[in-house]
Amino acid sequence: MRTAESVTFGTPLGDRAARLRRDRPALDRAYESGRVLPLWRGKPLIDAATRDRLVWVGARDPLAELDRTPVFLGLDGDGSGLFAVDASPWEPPESQAGDAAAFFDSSEQHHPTRPETHRFSELRGVMARLSPEEAAAAATARAVLNWHLTHRFCARCGAASEMAEAGWQRVCRGCGSQHFPRTDPVVIMLITRGNRVLVGRSPQWPGKMYSLLAGFVEPGETIEAAVRREVFEETAVEVGAVEYLSSQPWPYPMSMMIGCRGRAVSDGIDIDPEEIEDARWLTRERVLDAFAGIATDISPARKGSIARFLLWNWLADGLA
| 8 and 112 within one domain | yes
* Cα 111 from Cα 92, distance rounded (Å): 7
By C-alpha distance, which of 149, 156, 148, 146 is closest to 178?
156
| 263 and 175 within one domain | no
Please write the tens of the pLDDT for every residue from 157-195: 999 999 999 999 999 999 999 999 999 999 999 999 999
| 144 and 12 within one domain | yes
Are the CB atoms for 70 and 58 separated by under 8 Å?
no
- Tell me the residue range of the domain where 160 lies: 151-181
| 70 and 15 within one domain | yes
Are the CB atoms for 36 and 57 separated by under 8 Å?
yes
Helical (H) or strand (E) element with 310: helix 306-315
Write the CATH number for 251: 3.90.79.10
| 285 and 171 within one domain | no
Helix (H, G, I), strand (E, B) or coil at 54: strand
| 142 and 11 within one domain | yes
Kindly report the number of other CB atoms within 10 A of residue 241's CB atom: 10
**97 has pLDDT over 90:** no
| 177 and 219 within one domain | no
Chain-centroid distance, C-alpha 56: 20
Sheet holding 43-47, edge to edge: 71-75, 81-86, 35-40, 43-47, 118-120
Share of the chain above pLDDT 70, in %: 99
Are the CB atoms for 166 and 27 separated by under 8 Å?
yes
Q: Where does the pLDDT of residue 12 fall: very low under 50, low under 70, confident under 90, or very high at 90 and above?
A: confident
- What are residue 261's DSSP bridge partners? 190, 243
Looking at the structure of the chain, the number of domains it has is: 3
| 238 and 296 within one domain | yes
- What are residue 172's DSSP bridge partners? 161
The answer, yes or no, to whether the previous bond of 253 is cis (omega within 30 of 0) is yes
| 59 and 35 within one domain | yes
Q: Is residue 66 part of a domain?
A: yes
| 15 and 84 within one domain | yes
| 131 and 16 within one domain | yes
- What are residue 198's DSSP bridge partners? 281
Please write the tens of the pLDDT for every residue from 235-250: 999 999 999 999 999 9
